Amino acid sequence: MGTINHPDLQLALKDFLIEEEKLTQVVYRMTKEMKMGLSKETHARAAVKCFVTYVQDLPTGKERGKFLALDLGGSNFRVLLVIIRGDSDLQTESRTYVFPETLMTGTAKELFDFITECLVQFCRQFGLENEGLPLGFTFSFPCHQQGLSKGTLVAWTKGFRVEGVVGRNVVELLQEAITRRGEISVTVVALINDTVGTLLSTAYFNNNCRIGLIVGTGTNACYVEKTVNAECFEGYQTSPKPYMVINTEWGAFGDNGVLEFVRTPYDKVIDKETVNPGRQTFEKCISGMYMGEMVRLILIDMMAKGVMFRNESSEKLLQRGSFSTSYISDIESDAPGEYRMCNKVLHNLGLRGNQESDRLNLRYICEAVSSRSAKLCACGLVTLINKMNINEVAIAVDGSVYRYHPTYPSMLEHHMKKLLKPGVKFELVCSEDGSGRGAALAAATTVKNK
C-alpha cells in the first residue's frame, strides 16, 4: 500500500493493518481454541468445534470404479457420475438442476423427492438405474456427524428453511426418498461438506495434501489430525487408523471474545446488521459475504467527514450490500495509475470521482480490507500446520475470494511465510470441483475399505 495522506482515512484504516506481533497472538489463541474443540471435556463450550468427519482415509490415486455424487450447497444442485480408473485418471459427467425457490422453504419430503427425481433422470440418461452404485453426498450445511454416512442437520443456513430436516439424519431422508421412488438402485455411503470435498479432490492428485480451505462467501477449513487427538470420536484410542479429518468450523473463532483485540468498529457495525449477531466472528472478518460491506461502511464514513468524493452523494451507496465484494477484486486489478475498473465501479454507484486522490483512496480502503482478510486466513492455516507439526504440506483451496481476487493467493503465501517456523514448506493448490469430485472420492475410499 502507498502512503495515505488524509489523517481521518489513516485513522480509519489503522486497525486493519494488523502488525506481526498481533498475528502471532491470533495463532496462539486459535491453537488454544482448537485444543478445546478436540477435547471431549471442553468440546461443548469450545467456539472452534473441530468436528470429527469420520473420514479416515485420503484417496491414494489407486481407487477404481463408478461412483455417483450429489452436491447441494445453495441455489444450484448437481448430480455427477465419476469414473475412476486409478493412476490419477478421473472422468466426470455432471448435470446441474435449477433449484425451485419454493423448495427452500418447503417440507423435507418435497426437498428429498426433488433430489431423487433429478437423480433418477440422471441415472436414466446414463443407463445406471440398476447398477447399484455407491453415492457420496456433499451437503454444505452444518451437520453433526455420527458416522461417515450419518449426519444430523444442526441448522439451516443460506436462506434454506425446510421443515422437518433439522435434527434428522439427512442420509436417511435421502435413502428413504430413493426407496419410496423405487426406480433406481443406489446406496448413499458417505456424507461430507465442501471443505472435506476440497481436501479429497486435491489429495487424489497430490499425496502431500493435508488441509482443505474455503475462502468464498463464507470461510472454513478441515485438516488431517492424529486419531488419538480426536477425543470426540468414540474409538479414538483404539482405532486402527492413525488419522482423522477434522472439520474445524473456524468461522466461529472469536465468538467468545478472544478476537476483540483485532476487531474494528466497522466489524461491530456489520455484526449487528447480520442475521446471526455475535456468531461467526472470524468469518465476518475474512469472507466475501462481508468484505464489500466493510468497504461501503468505511467509504460512507469518509464521505460524511468530507475526506472523499466531496460534494457528491450516492443513493445506491446508502443501501446495505450495494458495494459488492467483486468490486474489491475489480478495483485492485487495475494497474498502478490506471482506473478503468475503478471508474466502472464508481459509475455503477453513481459517483463521478473526478479527483485522482478519491480513486487512490478507494483503492487503499479495498487493499486494507482484503489484506486483513488474507492475514487472518494465513493465521488460521499456520495454526493448522503447526498443529500437525509437519515440514511439508499442500493446501487445497477453493472459494470466490481466493479464485477471483488478483493478489489474494500471493498475500496469503507472503503472510504464511512470515508466521511459519523457518524451513516449513507449503504450496497452495486451487482445488478442482471439490464438492462434486470430492463426494465421489469419499464414496470410493469408503467402498475400498469395506
CB atoms within 10 A of CB 171: 23
Supply the DSSP symbol for 232.
Answer: T
158 flagged as catalytic: yes
Catalytic residue among 57, 71, 194, 271, which? 194
Residue 372 grid coordinates: 486483513
Distance CA 303, CA 310 (A): 7
Cell 509437519 identifies what position? 390
15 flagged as catalytic: no
Distance CA 180, CA 201 (A): 32
Residue 353 half-sphere exposure toward CB, CA atoms < 13 A:
23
Residue 28 grid coordinates: 496462539
b/e per residue 379-389 (b: at least 16 CB within 10 A) = bbbbbbbbbbe
Q: Provide DSSP, 97-125.
A: EE--GGGGGSBHHHHHHHHHHHHHHHHHH
Catalytic residue among 22, 158, 316, 425, which? 158
Give the CA distances from residue 429 to residues 205, 259, 333, 398, 403, in Å, rounded to whole numbers and listed in that order.
11, 28, 21, 9, 11
Angle at the Cα of 152 from the Cα atoms of 149 and 154, rounded to 5 degrees: 145
Catalytic site residues?
Answer: 158, 194
